[in-house]
A and B are shown apart, each in its own frame.
Chain A
Amino acid sequence: MTVRFAPGDKVRVRLAYPPGHVRTPFYIRGKSGSIERMCGSFRNPEELAYARSGEPHRPLYRVRFRQQDVWPDYSGAPADTIDVEIFAHWLEPA
């Protein structure tokens, strides 16, 4: 699978609720941020958890979100961020 995003690209996390072993936390679904780095490619945990191969490898990104974009009533400083590792198939261009 080709790498689709570069550092700095704006992305949005898919707002979806599939069943199973999903490593995309609920709180970050539907939120927008920017690519912090490409982490590499890894076997898909959503398949691995059920004793399947997890192939092909999926690109994994660290995505940086502004806390104020994640929590509308965030009490900290406006520049505060949260970084989350998210697989490419959970990301779309924003």
Chain B
Amino acid sequence: MSNAPGDHEHGHAHDHGHEHGHRHPPQADHDDRLTYYKVMEIAVRELLIEKGHITADEVRAAIEAMDARSPATGAKVVARAWTDPAFKTHLLADGTAACRSMGIDMGPTRLVVVENTPEVHNMVVCTLCSCYPRFLLGLPPLWYKSRAYRSRAVREPRVVLSEFGTHLADNVTVRVHDSTADMRYLVLPMRPAGTDGMDEAALAALVSRDSMIGVSLPRRP
């Protein structure tokens, strides 16, 4: 597992089209360091497989299913709420049940949907870890899990928003939601102007992942 970085000085421009007789340090792998918890995960997984509780293929399939989730699911929910007032009312009252009515089963996850209006802008963070509505948005982006976002989203949300290119007037209230326990949050962005004739599928294409986290606004048509 060991790399040998710094084997030589880089005092010249590289041309990888020819052999030039010295070794380059390999780019660091994501898994080049076995931490305590990585070792524990491997040990527990191998034991569970060895004792017949789960199979390696089940582990692989679970990872594949997790990776297959994407923000497109959340975008469909938002587009439905934009076009169906009864669904929107249901979604805001009980996000979990409303999603289930669309065939999206979130298991035990409780979904709270928070609505952006001309007066209120919502933004989601998990200061303690990386809680995120994965059934609707897939895996969280790396920045969502970063210490900088997790601490600054609660401390100076308007500055963070401006760094994402989202500039809000002072008379718009910013509501940050810290996902600390059993709820998961989805921002229902405002439907952009100029979308009157658009159907659900076309509207869903305007709904970005970041607009459902609340750091951005939907695309304009």
Q: Are A60 and B181 in contact (CB under 8 A)?
A: yes
Candidates B155, B174, B179, B182; contact of A77 at CB < 8 Å: B174
Q: In the complex, what distance in Å separates the CA atom of A60 from the CA atom of B183?
A: 10
Closest to B114 in A: A83
Residues of B contacting A: mostly: mixed
Q: In the complex, what distance in Å separates the CA atom of A79 from the CA atom of B174?
A: 8
Q: In the complex, what distance in Å separates the CA atom of A79 from the CA atom of B173?
A: 6
Q: In the complex, what distance in Å separates the CA atom of A7 from the CA atom of B174?
A: 20
For residue B110, which residues in chain A have a CB less than 8 angstroms away from its CB? 39-40
Q: Are B173 and A85 in contact (CB under 8 A)?
A: no
For residue A67, which residues in chain B have a CB less than 8 angstroms away from its CB? 157, 174, 176
Q: In the complex, what distance in Å separates the CA atom of A21 from the CA atom of B178?
A: 17
Candidates B174, B177, B180, B181; contact of A80 at CB < 8 Å: B174
Q: In the complex, what distance in Å separates the CA atom of A75 from the CA atom of B158?
A: 8
Number of interface residues of B (CB under 8 A): 24
Cβ of A62 < 8 Å from any Cβ of B? Answer: yes
Cβ of B156 < 8 Å from any Cβ of A? Answer: yes
Cβ of B127 < 8 Å from any Cβ of A? Answer: yes
Closest to A40 in B: B110
Cβ of A82 < 8 Å from any Cβ of B? Answer: yes
Which residues of A24-70 have CB atoms within 8 Å of chain B's CB atoms?
24-25, 27-28, 39-40, 42, 45, 60, 62, 67, 70
For residue B170, which residues in chain A have a CB less than 8 angstroms away from its CB? 77
Closest to B108 in A: A42
Number of interface residues of A (CB under 8 A): 26
For residue A84, which residues in chain B have a CB less than 8 angstroms away from its CB? 178, 180
Q: Are A81 and B154 in contact (CB under 8 A)?
A: no
Cβ of B27 < 8 Å from any Cβ of A? Answer: no
Most buried by A among B177, B180, B182: B180
Q: Are A25 and B128 in contact (CB under 8 A)?
A: yes
Q: In the complex, what distance in Å separates the CA atom of A25 from the CA atom of B128?
A: 7
Q: Are B173 and A83 in contact (CB under 8 A)?
A: no
Cβ of B159 < 8 Å from any Cβ of A? Answer: yes
Cβ of B35 < 8 Å from any Cβ of A? Answer: no
Q: List 9 A-B contacts (CB under 8 A).
A: A23-B181, A24-B180, A25-B178, A39-B182, A62-B183, A75-B158, A77-B170, A80-B157, A83-B178
Task: Known A-B contacts: A23-B181, A80-B158. Give 5 more (CB < 8 A).
Answer: A62-B183, A81-B175, A83-B176, A84-B180, A87-B181
Closest 3 CB pairs of A and B: A85-B181, A79-B173, A82-B176
